[in-house]
Structure 1
Amino acid sequence: MSACLSEHLPLLASAPGGIQKLRGLILELAVRGKLVPQDANDEPASELLKRIAKEKARLMATGKIRKDKPLAAVAEDEQPSALPSGWEWSRLAAVSLINPRNSAADSTIASFVPMAMIGTGFDGAHSQEPRKWGEIKQGFTHFAEGDIGVAKITPCFENSKACVFAKLQNGLGAGTTELHIVRPFAQTLVPRFVLAYLKAPMFLLVGETRMTGTAGQKRLPKGFLELNPFPLPPLAEQHRIVAKVDELMALCDRLEAEQADAANAHTTLVDTLLGTLAKSRDAAELAANWQRLSQHFDTLFSTEASLDALKQSILQLAVMGKLVPQDPNDEPASELLKRIAVEKKWFLKNEKYRGGTTVTPIPIDEAPAPAPFNWAWVPFGEIMVSRDSERIPVSKDERSTRAKFYDYYGASGVIDKIDSYLFDKPLLLIGEDGANLVNRSTPIAFIARGQYWVNNHAHVLDGISEGFLRFIELYINAIDLKPYVTGTAQPKMNQAKMNSIPIALPPESEQRRIVAKVDELMALCDRLKSDLAESRTRQARLARTLIESALKAA
């Protein structure tokens, strides 16, 4: 690698996908002849080609391989780049056998290798299982000791699934039909140099454009593997290249391990420090702990995962009553519960609601935890007005025939547009089913505004005010909902389970302060995440420039 590249190795490695890009660069430089110096004493590749041609002629004469048409030399306009002295452009079909067959007694124990057992690394590793040859000789791809196999089907090809078959039972094997096999002639090609070529971007990127077939079933044609220009170094240099690639891949492995260790340590540190925030006795202590933490934000919250953890901690602190101080002059939550009961009677009278009209708080001795001053524990269903009965699902096919004017909501937000609406006021939507109830990749609860339609995959909730709905929204997003979810393959939170969720309800004025503080801190997190994304983009751009410079220099 160039001195410039070596100097900026830490920057390249720390860029998004940097180590993977570095591995690709190593392989690209390897097959361009820029990774190790050439030795004038090496037998040139032109002599190697003569030996290969002689061996092919011998095998043809003895009937061990079929006679084939002479291949055209690699024309100058086909050559991807200039080659070092002693190298030659050739084709794999000229220097090896492609997709050969084996023969052996049916009782011979051989190795069976399905696609799942083939790795993606340069070590060329694969697993295997013993089978009788008679069981696998038909309907599978054949290979032998020292053959190179490369996946031909998407996405295995793009993911660089390829290996050198080694330590096979009795030296032969068979496996997945989604492989092309390259069999070098004895003492002419180093198998792992061929592997480097098959894993290098110069082969993979062009090969991806030549794949044929439908999406999900695209395959690399045999003809591309046979005829794509192949850079052939002297045999001695092939060995040196493979040794150097091994050395540099080991360096990449160490960098990757160091990054993983650093990431794990960082996660532990973030979790520990966020835990100290959660243990704050009150808002005053939290403010002091937050101030100490904020001095190290750039170091602590340097990944999207750590910022997501910070966001979740903010929500949890909010619903624990620790984010803003309690005010003894606030009207207690018990008075708010009385107003909610009056509101529910209004909903009942106006036929928008068919539930009860009383609000019964949870007794102190049955509450999940002590409530902050002036707060009250109450079941979710006691303070909310369900409007689930007004939802109407519309199939995707039917929606495709209707005009697209209004938002159409599902369990995780807007999923389409539709030509009419069911609701025209701010309401709280909570996902009713789907994996998001468990993995929480997006918020479970969210406010819908304007005029919109909701299908039967989101609960629709009304309440005493939009500010009240905002507090309930962040409350639901803060807590663990697993105890209220049924099913594993198809997680679901039905209305009865949702209504049983205990809510720690603050005074109405404190709710407003909590929501405002959460909004303020979430905006800070979003700014940090935006800055992080910009920084990563700049880092990726610089890494790409370094790689391009290294390849141009090559």
Structure 2
Amino acid sequence: MNARQLKSSILQYAMQGKLVDQDLAEESVSVLLEKLVKDKELLTKKKLKEGESHFSYINEEEIPFEIPDSWKWVRVKELCEINPKNRAADDIEAGFIPMKLIEDGFSNQHSYEKKTWGEIKKGYTHFQSGDIVVAKITPCFENLKSAIIRELPNNIGAGTTELFVFRPYSNLINKKYLLWIFKTSLFIEKGVSSFSGTAGQQRASRNFIENYLVPLPPYEEQKRIVDKINVLEEKVDTYGALYQRNEFIQKKFPFDLERSILQYAMKGKLVSQDTSDKSTSILLEKIRTEKEKIEKHKRSKKKEFIQITKEEVPFDIPTSWEWVRLKELGFIISGGTPKTAISDYWSDEGLLWITPSDMGKAKDKYIAASSRKISEKGLDSSSAQLIPGNSIVYSSRAPIGHINIVEEQYATNQGCKSIHPLKDYVDIDFLYYALKFMTPWIQRKATGTTFKEISGTVFGESVIPFPPLEEQRRIVKKIEELIRVTNILRIKN
């Protein structure tokens, strides 16, 4: 149960007469209501005719729950003047309250803007200090935008027309008690059921507001209920902060756990090293030889090797491992975008054309769909490139750090960089997890003003820890075994 649910339960408990004890020595509600009628007559200067009652008949079917015998059910319109008007000189200072200045939830807080009364007396809802305001439009009504107005300039004000205003006829109606009534779940549920109007502009009806039944206790009991709610509210707020903190930890925990698993893996602490594994240095030599053959065949210019400096190494790794640059493990490939208005450049039968937005929608480490597909003509007429399957695509901007494995041939826009690793020497799943863990270090190298970006060069020169091939495979097996557990935790949260 969260804090809002707990507060709602407390209010419901209070409105059923179960929060504080009844005191038979207190003045009865009947006497209170007689005084209220007299106060109303003085306020409105209207006297009831002989035999006329101020209180309307209440059908048994209308009563939502039982209340103590010392309480009475009374309609809102019999306790308050609704949407009263103010009279004041145009030049006096007043408070103006648009909806945004009324806080939602249980806070009972608002602020105001200073205006002259002449500026706001027409076209707005009137109120004064001490009035209760309740939003009538969705979603403000459901969000409990309601408060007791206080400390207005000259005690007068006006504001959004999307308010009901309540001015109790008598001081024997505790305003804070009445405000709590307007924040109960029952009031909100019944108000929502009375909604009318078009979608997004629905409002609680005036008829609902006027006839809503208030469970009214004796005046002294009203005060005791309000005092008790105030005490409990402080404790619930403390509970709420702890609840939110606990929820945050619960939601964050699986991600933190996965990050810890990857940290152990990339520091060589997740599985044991095996001296019988083939040396990483020999593995790298084979990769370089293989790359040279491919580049020679493609007549590509041989890439200059840049020594890794101590400053680039973020943590220690086992002596049997090596720090390597991404471009040493395969081929770095960038993307591009053909003209979107030319239909021939796009085809439902074409290749995946992956963007950071597509990657953001991917549910796991593999991506097999894109919102658009590029045609052969589109490839030929743009900087987009055909990328072999079994490559890793990495979003290099907006945002930096989405990572997916692509099993089929594809292309990307310029917001992605790809690496096609030499599969006989590099475990693609290990490379995926290594990139995932090293992304914070890659992100630090981003440049740009409008948005940060990682260039193909910077991506290729990024460093990752690199173990022997057999150990890569053992690490992947252990990571995926443990990540299955974190996924179960995510589902539960």
Q: 2:484 aligns with which of 523, 545, 548?
A: 523
Whether 1:462 and 2:420 are equivalent positions in the alignment is yes
Deviations 1:21-79 (A, max 9, x none): 2111011111222222233344444444444444445544479xxxxxx9853322222
Matched residues in 2 for 1:33 and 1:104: separation? Answer: 41
Whether 1:309 and 2:256 are equivalent positions in the alignment is yes
Deviations 1:79-111 (A, max 9, x none): 212232133333222321222222222332333
Residue equivalent to 1:447: 405
Deviations 1:2-22 (A, max 9, x none): xxxxxxxxxxxxx5x2x3321
- Residue 449 of structure 1, CA deviation: 4.0
Judged with a 3 Å threshold, the aligned counterparts in structure 2 of structure 1 residues 365 and 488 are, in CA distance, closer, same or farther, namely closer
- Residue 349 of structure 1, CA deviation: 8.3
- Residue 212 of structure 1, CA deviation: 3.9
Instruction: Give yes or no for contact 1:120–1:159 (8 Å, CA) kept in 2.
Output: yes
Instruction: Give yes or no for contact 1:360–1:378 (8 Å, CA) kept in 2.
Output: no
**Structure 1 residue ranges without an equivalent (≥5):** 1-14, 64-69, 268-301, 438-442, 537-554
Whether 1:505 and 2:466 are equivalent positions in the alignment is yes
- Residue 411 of structure 1, CA deviation: 2.7
Residue equivalent to 1:106: 90
Cα RMSD, aligned residues only: 4.1
Residue equivalent to 2:266: 319
Q: TM-score, normalised by structure 1?
A: 0.70
Whether 1:219 and 2:203 are equivalent positions in the alignment is yes
Aligned AA (1:84): P
Residue equivalent to 1:25: 9
Matched residues in 2 for 1:150 and 1:355: separation? Answer: 72
- Residue 379 of structure 1, CA deviation: 3.0
Matched residues in 1 for 2:197 and 2:435: separation? Answer: 47
Judged with a 3 Å threshold, the aligned counterparts in structure 2 of structure 1 residues 452 and 38 are, in CA distance, closer, same or farther, namely farther
Whether 1:336 and 2:283 are equivalent positions in the alignment is yes
User: What secondary structure does 1:33 align onto?
Assistant: coil
Matched residues in 2 for 1:141 and 1:175: separation? Answer: 5
Instruction: Give yes or no for contact 2:336–2:414 (8 Å, CA) kept in 1.
Output: no
Identity of aligned residues (%): 32
- Residue 402 of structure 1, CA deviation: 6.7
Residue equivalent to 2:179: 195
User: What secondary structure does 1:444 align onto?
Assistant: strand
Matched residues in 2 for 1:197 and 1:263: separation? Answer: 30
Whether 1:156 and 2:140 are equivalent positions in the alignment is yes
Instruction: Give yes or no for contact 1:124–1:192 (8 Å, CA) kept in 2.
Output: no
Structure number, greater radius of gyration:
2
Q: 2:130 aligns with which of 140, 146, 154?
A: 146
1:396-545 equivalent positions in 2, closer than 5 A: 410-414=358-362, 425-435=389-399, 437=400, 444-449=402-407, 458-465=416-423, 468-479=427-438, 480=440, 481-486=442-447, 490-528=451-489, 533=492
Residue equivalent to 1:37: 21
Whether 1:210 and 2:194 are equivalent positions in the alignment is yes
- Residue 225 of structure 1, CA deviation: 2.3
Aligned AA (1:375): W
User: What secondary structure does 2:362 align onto?
Assistant: strand
Aligned AA (1:433): R
Matched residues in 2 for 1:46 and 1:36: separation? Answer: 20
Matched residues in 2 for 1:22 and 1:101: separation? Answer: 37
User: What secondary structure does 1:303 align onto?
Assistant: helix
User: What secondary structure does 1:337 align onto?
Assistant: helix
Instruction: Give yes or no for contact 1:318–1:518 (8 Å, CA) kept in 2.
Output: yes
Judged with a 3 Å threshold, the aligned counterparts in structure 2 of structure 1 residues 202 and 488 are, in CA distance, closer, same or farther, namely farther
Judged with a 3 Å threshold, the aligned counterparts in structure 2 of structure 1 residues 368 and 420 are, in CA distance, closer, same or farther, namely closer
Residue equivalent to 1:245: 229
Larger mean CA deviation between 308-317 and 44-53 belongs to 44-53
Larger mean CA deviation between 491-500 and 418-427 belongs to 418-427
Matched residues in 2 for 1:508 and 1:428: separation? Answer: 18
User: What secondary structure does 2:5 align onto?
Assistant: helix
Aligned AA (2:121): K
Larger mean CA deviation between 244-253 and 424-433 belongs to 424-433
User: What secondary structure does 2:86 align onto?
Assistant: coil
Aligned AA (1:482): Q
Deviations 1:210-230 (A, max 9, x none): 334455544333443223333
- Residue 254 of structure 1, CA deviation: 3.8
1:252-271 equivalent positions in 2, closer than 5 A: 252-256=236-240
Aligned AA (2:396): E
- Residue 344 of structure 1, CA deviation: 4.6
Matched residues in 2 for 1:24 and 1:389: separation? Answer: 54
- Residue 201 of structure 1, CA deviation: 0.8
User: What secondary structure does 2:214 align onto?
Assistant: strand
Matched residues in 2 for 1:456 and 1:155: separation? Answer: 41
- Residue 162 of structure 1, CA deviation: 1.6
Aligned AA (1:181): V
Deviations 1:302-336 (A, max 9, x none): 83323322221221232233333444443343433
- Residue 257 of structure 1, CA deviation: 5.3
Judged with a 3 Å threshold, the aligned counterparts in structure 2 of structure 1 residues 507 and 116 are, in CA distance, closer, same or farther, namely same
Larger mean CA deviation between 306-315 and 377-386 belongs to 377-386
- Residue 450 of structure 1, CA deviation: 6.2
**Structure 2 residue ranges without an equivalent (≥5):** 48-53, 364-368, 375-385
Deviations 1:237-288 (A, max 9, x none): 211211121122122234345667x869xx9xxxxxxxxxxxxxxxxxxxxx
- Residue 171 of structure 1, CA deviation: 1.6
- Residue 385 of structure 1, CA deviation: 2.7
Aligned AA (1:36): V
Q: 1:75 aligns with which of 55, 59, 63?
A: 59
Aligned AA (1:108): I
Instruction: Give yes or no for contact 1:362–1:378 (8 Å, CA) kept in 2.
Output: no
Judged with a 3 Å threshold, the aligned counterparts in structure 2 of structure 1 residues 529 and 389 are, in CA distance, closer, same or farther, namely closer
Aligned AA (2:24): A
Matched residues in 2 for 1:249 and 1:305: separation? Answer: 28
Residue equivalent to 2:378: none
Residue equivalent to 2:379: none
